Structure 1
Amino acid sequence: MKQGKIGPVETMAAGPVERHASGRLTIATAGPGFTDFTAAVAEFVRGSGIRDGLVTVFCRHTSASLTIQENADPDVQTDLMAALDGFAPRHAGYVHGAEGPDDMPAHIRTMVTDSALTIPLIDGRLALGTWQGIYLIEHRDRPHRREVVLSAIGS
C-alpha cells in the first residue's frame, strides 16, 4: 500500500481565547431532504467578532442531523438521500414505531451522520472548502421546525 507525503503543519493563528458567542437558529424543513444554512452560520460568525477560532453547530433533535457536503451539484443530495433510504428503509419492521414508520429510520440515519459539527474560523470566515456547505438533513416525512445551537470561541 502506497502512502502519500505529509507536509509540516502551517501555523495560521495562535493566542489566547478572548471571545465566546452563542446563538440559536430555527430551521423550517419541508420534509425529507437537505437545507443549506451555511449563510446563517457565516452571518453568526461575522456578528460574533471572532476572527480566528472554532464554531460548533449542534442539532437538538434525534431525527434530523447535520453534514458538511458538496454545495455545487444538487444531484449529490439526491444520491445521498437515496443511499440513506437504502441504508435505513421506512418499512423494515422496526420495533419502535410509536411515532410512525419514518421515526426509527430517522434515528438510524441521524446516528450515522452527525448531530454536531465543528468548523475552524480563519480571518473571520468559515474555513470550508470551495464546494462545501453546511446542511441540516431532515429525516422525517413531514415538515418540522428544527433548532440548531451555535457556539463560537476564539479571538
Structure 2
Amino acid sequence: MRTTMLNLRTGGDEVVLDLTRQCKSFVSGLGDGLLHVFVPHATAGLAIIETGAGSDDDLLAALADLLPADDRWRHRHGTRGHGRSHVMPAVVPPYATVPVDGGRLALGTWQSICLVDLNVDNADRSVRLDFLEG
C-alpha cells in the first residue's frame, strides 16, 4: 500500500473542491489497483460528480435545502447552523474508492473526485490517499 496526505485550505465559504488532478498524479505509473480517498474530519465528505458545468454549485444548493444553516441543530458551537456540517457526512460520505487501471483513474468522462466542505469555521483540511495494488 502507498499513502500520502493532501493538506488543503478550503477558505471561509462552502466549497466543492476538485481533487482529481492530485489523485491522478498520485496513482500515475502505479499499475492496477484501487485508490481509496478518505477525509479524516467530522464535517467534510467526498463526492464523485461533474464539476465546472454547475453541478458543484447544484450540490451545494441541494445540501442547503436538505441541511439548512439555521438554528434547528442540537450541535451548536461555531457559526449559525454549524451542526449541519456534522450531519453532512451521513449524506456525503467521508470516503470514495476508484479503480485504477494501468496507473490511470478509471473515472467516467465527466466524473471528478471532490472534497465537499460546508464547515466555514475550519479552513484547514486533510485528505488521505491510499493506493491498494490489485
Alignment of 1:33-48 (within 5 A): 33-46=15-28
> Gaps spanning 5+ residues in structure 1: where?
1-19
Counterparts of 2:101 and 2:51, CA distance in 1 = 20
The match for 2:65 among 68, 71, 86 is: 86
Which has the higher Rg, Structure 1 or Structure 2?
1
Question: Structure 1 segments of 4 or more deviating over 4 A?
Answer: none
TM-score using structure 1 length: 0.80
Counterparts of 1:104 and 1:114, CA distance in 2 = 16
Counterparts of 2:32 and 2:72, CA distance in 1 = 48
Query: What amino acid maps onto 2:6 in structure 1?
Result: L
**1:26 paired to 2:7:** yes
> Gaps spanning 5+ residues in structure 2: where?
none
Counterparts of 1:132 and 1:99, CA distance in 2 = 33
**1:105 paired to 2:75:** no
**1:152 paired to 2:134:** no
Aligned residues: percent identity?
Answer: 32
**Change in 2 beyond 3 A, CA 1:143/1:107:** closer
**1:52 paired to 2:20:** no
Counterparts of 2:23 and 2:80, CA distance in 1 = 32
Counterparts of 2:108 and 2:52, CA distance in 1 = 12
Query: What amino acid maps onto 1:55 in structure 2?
Result: L
The count of residues paired between Structure 1 and Structure 2 equals: 133
Counterparts of 1:107 and 1:60, CA distance in 2 = 13
